[in-house]
Amino acid sequence: MIETSAGPGRPLMTYTLMALCCLVFVLGPASGLNPGYGTGSELVGAQSAYFERWGVVPSALWSGTPGEPLTPLTALFVHGNWLHLLGNMLFLYVFGAMTEERMGRVQFALFYLATGYLALLGYAAAHADSSQTLVGASGAISGVLGAFLWLFPQARVTSLFPFLFFLPLRFPAWVVLIFWVALQWLAAREADDGPGVAYLAHLVGFTLGFLYAWARFGRTARVGGAARSSEGESQP
């Protein structure tokens, strides 16, 4: 699935973040695996309450209610369904290892959490009156993509595009990621504050990640490399 130029050390923080997301999902009601949440309408009600408790509700975030400022952090570990979880974990697995190796484990973890928090905060600020719940690691993973673009612009990424009949093609990372950003930007322009993908959070996270890598590492840290991913319509 992936080959990189990362060093001999394993990306333990990337694996830890993935494990936490998977554990929270499996134990929560969205997975449908925990019998404690019931079935049918009872399960649907439990899912709704769970997302409102741990996810970001923009209109509630600015209400001054105690505990609400923490929801952009807790929401990073909550996912809406299996496809949402697996898509995010694929992107984190592919792009997180090399980024973690360059930043270091502790710095990478702080970067991931801060970028994700600010991405969700930015989305909530732009949709301050929305009552729709926002969950998922998308903003943080988008930050990882932004940092990866600055640090490894020439890394070779093998992608599968549905509109090209899933033909595997190899491109430099900067081509794939700029194409991805363009898709997010176009989708964000068409999106409203209703249910769906929070494309604006992706753009905020990506921009913050790119700017952080540029400010922190400068041009001396930019290197080549190789990465392989199965990338198509799955969105982080």
**Catalytic (active-site) positions:** 138, 202
Q: Residue 101 and residue 221: Cα distance in Å, rounded?
A: 12
**Residues 60, 70 contacting (CB under 8 angstroms):** no
Q: Which residues of 98-126 are buried (b: 16+ CB within 10 A; e: fewer)?
A: bbbbbbeeeebbebbbbbbbbbbbbbbee
Q: Residue 202 and residue 181: Cα distance in Å, rounded?
A: 8
Angle between helices 173-190 and 199-217 (to 10 degrees): 140
**Residues 236, 138 contacting (CB under 8 angstroms):** yes
In degrees and rounded to multiples of 5, residue 159 shows phi and psi of: -125, 150
Angle between helices 199-217 and 105-126 (to 10 degrees): 140
**Residues 176, 159 contacting (CB under 8 angstroms):** yes
Number of other residues whose CB lies within 10 A of the CB of residue 130: 19
**Residues 118, 208 contacting (CB under 8 angstroms):** yes
